[in-house]
Amino acid sequence: MLKIYFAGSIRGGREHIDFYIGIIEYLQNFGEVLTEHVGNSSITPEGENTLTDNFIFNRDMEWLSSSDVIVAEVSNPSLGVGFEIASAIGLKKKILCLFKKQVNKKLSAMIAGCPDIIVKEYVELDEAKKLINDFLSDLK
């Protein structure tokens, strides 16, 4: 079974949580989403309050290492998501970054310009689903 690491902002802001939920639900059609908690709307920007930062770091790095692919929703700038993506590059993982087109917002050049990352823009959730489908189909 395909192991998918989904990355999305938690402490950097939760303004795209509805897209995270839809993306995670769609990814579950392809395999196990190791980080489905990112789509939990009860998690606030303060984070997972019952867990220590060290626990979260170790848990997420273990999941990242064991994953087959990374799908990141990068519309909301997040230091954690950037760290996860950089770590995934070092681990030679296949990475898809989804960026929701927004007025007066541009994706970081460090993500957009990286040759080790597939970056795709979308407006609606159905577009993101098609981009995910194409990315995962190309892996076969």
Q: Which helix (H) or strand (E) holds 100?
A: strand 94-100
Average pLDDT over residues 115-130: 97
User: Going edge to edge, which strands form the sheet with 118-122?
Assistant: 31-33, 2-7, 69-73, 94-100, 118-122
pLDDT at 42: 85
- Residue 13: pLDDT above 90? no
Average pLDDT over residues 127-137: 97
Q: What is the pLDDT of residues 71-105, one digit of tens each?
A: 999 999 999 999 999 999 999 999 999 999 988 89
CATH of the domain at 131: 3.40.50.450
Q: How far apart are CA 121 and CA 128, in angstroms?
A: 8
pTM across the whole model: 0.94
- Residue 23: pLDDT above 80? yes
Q: What is the pLDDT of residues 44-69, one digit of tens each?
A: 777 677 889 999 999 999 999 999 99
How many domains are there within the chain? 1
Which domain does 86 fall in, by range? 2-138
Query: What does the DSSP 8-state code read for residue 46?
Result: T
Tokens of 68: 């087959």
Please enumerate in sequence order all residues whose Cβ is within 8 A of that of 119, keeping only pairs 6 or more positions apart, or say none.
Answer: 74, 97, 99, 107, 111, 112
CA distances from 82 to 30, 113, 129 (A): 24, 13, 22
